[in-house]
Amino acid sequence: DTGVSQNPRHKITKRGQNVTFRCDPISEHNRLYWYRQTLGQGPEFLTYFQNEAQLEKSRLLSDRFSAERPKGSFSTLEIQRTEQGDSAMYLCASSPEGGGSEKLFFGSGTQLSVL
């Protein structure tokens, strides 16, 4: 399977705990994106990497959120001191650089539930 892979698929945590999600993009894709989707809404942009460089962060990304892509391959998204409002589907997407970069390939997401 050469698609975008996200782990875990589901995460249930208690308020105040830290959680970390992993995304493995399509191997030849330089660009990696994190989105958040809540029920009844479309995906909302969180942050974007080109190789290992984090080029853009949304205002939605509070100080409790941090994302890394240390070697320009897989990425992690960490949420510290989770709140109930963080409950959402966290989607990772990747795309190639240059032609076709606008077509994002999404993973199946990590569904976070904060109790």
Partner 1 sequence: DQQVKQNSPSLSVQEGRISILNCDYTNSMFDYFLWYKKYPAEGPTFLISISSIKDKNEDGRFTVFLNKSAKHLSLHIVPSQPGDSAVYFCAALTNNDMRFGAGTRLTVKP
d(CA 70, CA 87): 26
Could you tell me the maximum CA-CA distance found in the chain, to the nearest angstrom?
Answer: 43
From the list 80, 84, 41, the residue with the least C-alpha distance to 61 is 80
Task: Name the one range near partner 1 by CB under 8 A: 12-20, 62-70, 72-80, 99-107.
Answer: 99-107
Task: Name the one range near partner 1 by CB under 8 A: 12-20, 33-41, 67-75, 78-86.
Answer: 33-41
> Could you say which of 19, 32, 93, 114 contacts partner 1 (CB under 8 A)?
93
d(CA 115, CA 112): 10
Contact letters (x/-) for partner 1, 52-91, by CB under 8 A? Answer: ---xx----------------------------------x
d(CA 33, CA 105): 10
CB of 41 to partner 1, least distance (A): 5
